[in-house]
């Protein structure tokens, strides 16, 4: 079938060519178009007003980068067939279709706690595969790491995949946080394949160091910014309260898709089966940020104090105060805040947890024991970057950085 070339203008990468009919069909599929209405950075726009970009933009950007990488690898003698190239493009296009509203914020809140977006992405890919007469079988194999060329999966999911390369560049661009900028072109040009493993040529080591440092900085400056944590905690508690009221028989305002998940706790095994004559998967693909946002606006007027108060706080940006510490907070200090909150809001003990929380947040820039980033020297030697970096020691790489967040109401609610 002849293919009429299509081009998309992306603010980060410039003009992106849609490479094939199949890629074009996937982009137009409603599961992928749905990503236009799911913010990439959840509530980070409350701190960085420009950070309103969406998962659809990211999917196109990651597709562009995997095409660039495949061209580089082919130029270095790596054998990648046209079928494999198309499959890798499809795999990265669909890698995020399992995200629910507000991305990671509500990932384990909409469905049951044991269901992550990766599992749902895999399910939705199988659905599309059936709709396209099995044309995604190879893309699914690459996505699931069951294809014999393992480096293709590493391009889609690893510690140096095109997913991370795009979201760091994109999130930096839209948030305005310059620390996230990385040398995309340089990194891609330095990639190679040795023994079916994606590696980085030695000349690219400084670009990889910058990539890892940038990822670390973006986590603590954007993704785990204390005000973002406070806002996301309110959002999680809103949904938690709404589900609690729904399970007690309250008929809350909500779209049919949101209503279904408020009333039911769906496990992964139940996701593709009919549940009281309704299909959870179909409700999920109709669920976007818009469903949550519209419900929150209405719930501001609900008679339940906890639900309405939390919704008003988020809508009016009267967020929790959030304190970060390298050590757990003193239990006596937490209890004092709880009692003060209980008195100020005139609520019972059972409702204080909606307004006071203490939990840990952590991240790793690099995990040496998990699909290492290997540096390729001219003599053919392969060395883990953790053992050769002049800036980042192995201890910094391997040890997770953990902080403790104490979120609670301000006095001026």
Decide if 282 is inside a domain: yes
Task: Give the integer Cα–Cα distance in Å for 284 and 121.
Answer: 11
Decide if 403 is inside a domain: no
Q: Is 3 in contact with 20 (CB distance < 8 Å)?
A: yes
Q: What is the pLDDT along the chain (413 residues), one digit of tens a residue?
A: 677 789 999 999 999 999 999 999 999 999 999 999 999 999 999 999 999 999 999 999 999 999 999 999 999 999 999 999 999 999 999 999 999 999 877 777 787 667 778 888 999 999 999 999 999 999 999 999 999 999 999 999 999 999 999 999 999 999 999 988 999 999 999 999 999 999 999 999 999 999 999 998 999 999 999 999 999 999 999 999 999 999 999 999 999 999 999 998 888 788 777 666 678 889 999 999 999 999 999 999 999 999 999 999 999 999 999 999 999 999 999 999 999 999 999 999 999 999 999 999 888 777 766 678 999 999 999 999 888 887 776 555 667 788 999 999 986 44
Residue 191 and residue 252 share a domain = no
Q: What is the pLDDT of residue 368?
A: 64
CATH code: domain of residue 353: 1.20.1250.30
Sign of torsion, CA 92 93 98 104? positive
Which residues, at least 6 apart from 2, have a Cβ–Cβ distance to it below 8 Å? none
Residue ranges in 144-286 assigned as alpha helix (H): 150-156, 162-175, 184-189, 205-218, 226-247, 256-263, 280-284
Residue 306 and residue 174 share a domain = no
β pairing state of 401-408 and 356-363: antiparallel
β pairing state of 191-194 and 197-201: antiparallel
Task: Give the integer Cα–Cα distance in Å for 22 and 316.
Answer: 44
pTM over 0.85: yes
**Domain range holding 79?**
6-94+136-224
Residue 355 and residue 249 share a domain = yes
Decide if 157 is inside a domain: yes
Decide if 163 is inside a domain: yes
Task: Give the integer Cα–Cα distance in Å for 309 and 238.
Answer: 9
Q: Is 255 in contact with 202 (CB distance < 8 Å)?
A: no
Residue 260 and residue 176 share a domain = no
Residue 282 and residue 219 share a domain = no
Q: How many CA atoms lie within 13 A of 253 on its CB side?
A: 16
β pairing state of 374-376 and 197-201: parallel
DSSP 221: I
DSSP 36: G
Residue 285 and residue 325 share a domain = yes
Q: Is 355 in contact with 406 (CB distance < 8 Å)?
A: no
> Is residue 345 packed enough to be buried (19+ CB in 10 Å), middle (13-18) or exposed (0-12)?
middle
CATH code: domain of residue 164: 1.10.3210.10
Residue 175 and residue 204 share a domain = yes
Q: What is the pLDDT of residue 411?
A: 64
Last residue of a domain, one of 224, 257, 288: 224
Task: Give the integer Cα–Cα distance in Å for 180 and 170.
Answer: 9
Q: In the structure encoding, which two tokens stand for residue 305, read together?
A: 């104090």
Decide if 32 is inside a domain: yes
Query: Could you identify the residue written with the tokens 């990539």?
Result: 211
Q: What angle do CA 242, 246, 250 make, to 5 degrees?
A: 110
Task: Give the integer Cα–Cα distance in Å for 13 and 271.
Answer: 36
H helices, E strands: number in the chain: 18, 9
Residue 348 and residue 333 share a domain = yes
Which residues, at least 6 apart from 84, have a Cβ–Cβ distance to it below 8 Å? 138, 142, 149, 152
Which residues, at least 6 apart from 185, have a Cβ–Cβ distance to it below 8 Å? none
Residue 236 and residue 180 share a domain = no
Overall domain count for the chain: 2
Decide if 73 is inside a domain: yes
- Residues facing 338 on adjacent strands: none
Residue 331 and residue 282 share a domain = yes
Residue 252 and residue 160 share a domain = no
Decide if 233 is inside a domain: yes
Last residue of a domain, one of 362, 386, 407: 362
Task: Give the integer Cα–Cα distance in Å for 278 and 72.
Answer: 47
Decide if 380 is inside a domain: no
Residue 174 and residue 34 share a domain = yes
Residue 71 C-alpha from the chain's centroid: 27
Q: Is 125 in contact with 94 (CB distance < 8 Å)?
A: yes
Task: Give the integer Cα–Cα distance in Å for 11 and 29.
Answer: 23
Task: Give the integer Cα–Cα distance in Å for 404 and 159.
Answer: 25
């Amino acid at each position: 079938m002849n293919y009429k070339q299509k081009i998309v203008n992306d603010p980060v990468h410039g003009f992106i060519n849609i490479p094939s009919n199949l890629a074009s069909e996937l982009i137009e599929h409603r599961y992928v178009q749905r990503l236009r209405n799911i913010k990439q950075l959840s509530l980070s726009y409350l701190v960085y007003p420009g950070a309103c970009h969406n998962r659809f933009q990211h999917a196109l950007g990651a597709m562009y980068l995997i095409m660039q990488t495949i061209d580089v690898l082919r130029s270095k003698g790596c054998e990648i067939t046209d079928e494999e190239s198309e499959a890798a493009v499809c795999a990265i296009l669909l890698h995020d279709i399992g995200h629910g509203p507000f991305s990671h914020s509500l990932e384990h809140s909409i469905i049951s706690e044991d269901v992550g977006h990766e599992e749902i992405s895999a399910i939705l890919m199988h659905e599309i595969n059936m709709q396209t007469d099995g044309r995604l079988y190879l893309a699914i194999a690459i996505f699931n790491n069951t294809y014999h060329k393992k480096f293709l999966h590493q391009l889609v999911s690893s510690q140096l995949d095109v997913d991370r390369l795009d979201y760091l560049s994109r999130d930096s661009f839209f948030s305005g946080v310059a620390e996230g900028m990385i040398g995309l072109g340089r990194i891609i040009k330095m990639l190679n394949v040795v023994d079916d493993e994606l590696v980085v040529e030695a000349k690219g080591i400084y670009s990889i160091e910058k990539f890892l440092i940038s990822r670390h900085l973006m986590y603590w400056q954007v993704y785990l910014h204390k005000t973002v944590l406070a806002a996301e905690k309110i959002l999680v508690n809103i949904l938690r309260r709404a589900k609690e009221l729904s399970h007690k028989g309250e008929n809350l305002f909500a779209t049919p898709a949101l209503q279904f998940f408020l009333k039911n706790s769906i496990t992964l095994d139940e996701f593709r089966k009919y549940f009281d004559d309704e299909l959870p998967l179909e409700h999920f693909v109709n669920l976007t940020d818009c469903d949550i946002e519209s419900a929150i606006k209405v719930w501001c007027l609900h008679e339940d104090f906890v639900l309405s108060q939390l919704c008003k706080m988020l809508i009016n940006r009267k967020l929790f105060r959030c304190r970060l510490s390298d050590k757990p907070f003193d239990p006596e200090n937490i209890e004092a805040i709880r009692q003060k909150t209980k008195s100020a809001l005139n609520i019972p003990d059972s409702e204080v947890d909606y307004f006071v929380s203490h939990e840990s947040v952590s991240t790793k820039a690099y995990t040496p024991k998990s699909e290492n980033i290997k540096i390729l020297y001219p003599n053919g030697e392969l060395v883990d970057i953790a053992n050769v970096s002049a800036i980042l020691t192995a201890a910094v790489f391997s040890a997770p950085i953990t902080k403790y967040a104490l979120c609670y109401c301000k006095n001026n609610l």
